[in-house]
Amino acid sequence: MQQAIQEKQQMDPKRLARLPIIDPVNPSKKFSEKEEKWLREMKTYEFSNIEEPGLMHTFSYGCAGNSMKFTFFHGGKYTIPRFLARHVESRSTPIWAWRPDGTGSIRKEQTGQKSRFQMREMYE
């Protein structure tokens, strides 16, 4: 099944080049020419699902008129642009804690982030 999905998903470099670069923190950010060239560079990554080891991750990336659907398998190697790897690594789950607020009540506060996925760059 994994091989059938990977064959169906063939990542077309021309289509990947047309995808918009979306900054995880500020989606409306514009990148300089030098930054964009670096982010669009194709690299080989190994995908790891930290949250649910062994399971695949399916997601869409892009905007309404120009998006692509991806399926990454735990331990799979993929040649993708840096901006896409950065997007996958930016997915996280908030960590919450109950803290006293000084008035005798307690409040829920976000104390951190827990990474869900890892894209490890492969060097040849």
**22 inside domain:** no
Residue 1 has pLDDT above 80, yes or no: no
**26 inside domain:** no
6-45 CB burial, b ≥16 within 10 A, e <16: eeeeeeeeeebeebebbeeeeeeeeeeeeeeeebbeeeeb
Query: Tens digits of per-residue pLDDT, 64-92?
Result: 788 888 899 999 998 888 989 888 888 88
How many domains does the structure of the chain reveal? 1
**21 inside domain:** no
**104 inside domain:** yes
Residues 87 and 119 sit within 8 Å (Cβ to Cβ): no
**89 inside domain:** yes
Query: Tens digits of per-residue pLDDT, 96-106?
Result: 999 998 888 99
Residue 7 has pLDDT above 50, yes or no: no
Q: What percent of the chain has pLDDT over 90?
A: 18
**97 inside domain:** yes
Residue 39 domain boundaries:
2-16+32-121
- Give the predicted TM-score (pTM) of the model: 0.75
**9 inside domain:** yes
